[in-house]
Structures are given as structure tokens and as C-alpha cells.
Amino acid sequence: MKNIYLILTILFLFFISCNEKKQGSSDKTMAVTDISKTQSEGYTLLKNNCYACHSVTSKSHNEIIAPPMVVIQRRYKMSYKSKEEFVEAVTDWALNPTKENSLMRGAVMQFNVMPKQAFQKEDVTKIAEYIYVNELERPEWFEKQFYNEQSNGMGKGMNRKN
């Protein structure tokens, strides 16, 4: 009985690998290379433009000057489900951060509004796409400390009276 399953599995794997070979045209290989190129470009831009403040290397919650990007990612995904909406929202924000447009009132209260900086729209769009698609680094203290406090903070922000 066991052997039958084994043979079926092998046949199945064989079938899959044949199928993949058929589809593995040069087009597909190109697309994959393109994606990883944009990916690493997005990450470099993120690191150079945003991680000075949205750092993942601060030792503790007390040392940070802005929420880690992973917290922003989580919050923005709650409001903007599709990639297009998410990218547009993050890009609009980074090009023109104002208190009125903020989703993270708790963060504004804690850190003040993000200073307006001279980012290129094209760069920020790539950064926003990267943030949408990827798992971001989490500071060591993130789960146990910041996330709990942040979710309380967000709760308060959402229940604000005005």
C-alpha cells in the first residue's frame, strides 16, 4: 500500500517538473530577473531614504524616532487592501505628509508629523511597491513591546471623539 503512494508521489512530481520545463520559456526567465532587480532596487531605496528614521536597528522602543516600517505596513494594509491603493496612499503620504492625511494619529502624537522631504515620486513608488510585497524586518523588541503598545495606541486613535 505504502509503495503505491510513493509511486504516485514520484509520478506527480515528475509530471510537475515536466510541466514547468514546458513553460520555462525565456520570457519567464526574463520576468523573474526583472522582478528581483526591482526588488533589490526597492530595498536599497527604502534603506537609503526611509530607514534613517523608520529604522529596524534601534535597540529599544525608547530610542526610535519613527515607527518601524513593518508597523506602518500593517496599518496601511488594514485600510488599503489592493496593491494599487496601498502604493498610492504611501506615495502620496511620503510626498506630502500632513496631520490631516495621517492614518496613524498615535504615531503623530508620539513623534510629530513626518517632516516633508524632497523625495522623487518614482523612487517612493518603488519603495511603496517593495513594502507592499515583502515581509519587512522586525526589530527584536517588536513583537513583545512595540506591537502591544502600538495596538493600544491605535485603538485610542480610532476611538477619538473628533
* Footprint of ligand HEC on 62-101 (CB under 6 A): 66-67, 72, 90, 93-94, 97
Question: Residue 143 has which C-alpha cell?
Answer: 513583537
For ligand HEC, give the closer residue by CB, 6 or 159: 159
Q: How far apart are CA 117 and CA 48, in angstroms?
A: 13
Q: Which of 100, 95, 106 is nearest to 67 (CA)?
A: 106
For ligand HEC, give the closer residue by CB, 70 or 107: 107
Least distance (Å) between residue 15 CB and ligand HEC: 44
Q: How far apart are CA 68 and CA 80, in angstroms?
A: 18
Asked if residue 104 lies in contact with residue 67, where contact means CB atoms within 8 angstroms, the answer is: yes
Least distance (Å) between residue 105 CB and ligand HEC: 7
Q: How far apart are CA 42 and CA 48, in angstroms?
A: 10
Distances (CA, A) of 100 to 53, 105, 152: 21, 9, 21
Among 54, 64, 146, 157, binds ligand HEC (CB under 6 A): 54
Residues near 113 by Cβ (< 8 Å), separated by ≥ 6?
A: 97, 98, 99, 102
Among 43, 80, 119, 147, binds ligand HEC (CB under 6 A): 119
Least distance (Å) between residue 150 CB and ligand HEC: 11
Decide if residue 130 touches ligand HEC (CB under 6 A).
Answer: no
Binding residues (CB under 6 A) for ligand HEC: these are 49-50, 52-54, 66-67, 72, 90, 93-94, 97, 102-104, 107-108, 111, 113-115, 119, 124, 127
